[in-house]
Structures are given as C-alpha cells and as structure tokens.
Amino acid sequence: MTSRTLRYWEQKGLFSSSRDMQSNWRVYDKVQSMAGQQVLRFRYLSTLKKSGFLEAYMHLLIVQMRYMIDGKYK
C-alpha cells in the first residue's frame, strides 16, 4: 500500500494515525492495519477474477480456513 493511498484515506476520515516520535513515521492501530490488508486482498481477488484464477484462490482459502478451524485438512 502506498503512502499516497494512506494519506488519501486519512483525508477522507477512514484512517487516523499517530506519529512515532523518533522516526516521525505514521503509526496505525491493529484494526486499521487489518482493514488495509483486507483492501489489498480484495484488490488481489479482483485481479484473480479477471485472469480466471479466482475459483482456485477461493478453494485455497477454504482449505486454509478448514485447517485453522479443525486443525486438519479435509
């Protein structure tokens, strides 16, 4: 994710950041970080759909979720 995207989201009020006093970098909380990761995933899924790989990716996600829930592959 680019700094330009983060600044845009801040301007729209979607994200807010604090500043690290030593580095002067923007710092986001865990929820905002996770939301940003979801946006990137959705962008990736959009790319996969256009290229025809969405079904394979969705299958992989389902297998991973089952493993996380059940502790084993089915």
Residue 37: pLDDT band by 50, 70, 90 thresholds? Answer: confident
12: Cα separation from own chain's centroid: 18
Residue 74 or residue 22, greater confidence: 22
Q: How many residues are listed for the chain in this entry?
A: 74
For residue 27, the number of C-alpha atoms closer than 13 Å in the C-beta half-sphere is: 7
Provide long-range contacts, Cβ within 8 A and 24+ apart, for 47-51: none
Q: pLDDT by residue (tens digit) across 54-67?
A: 677 777 777 777 77
Read off the pLDDT of each residue in 35-50 and give the average, rounded to a whole number.
80
Choose among 20, 22, 26: nearest CA to 5.
26
Of the chain, the percentage scoring pLDDT greater than 90 comes to 1
Other Cβ atoms less than 10 A from the Cβ of 9: the count is 19
pLDDT of residue 34: 83
Task: Look at residue 73 in the predicted model and tell me its pLDDT.
Answer: 53
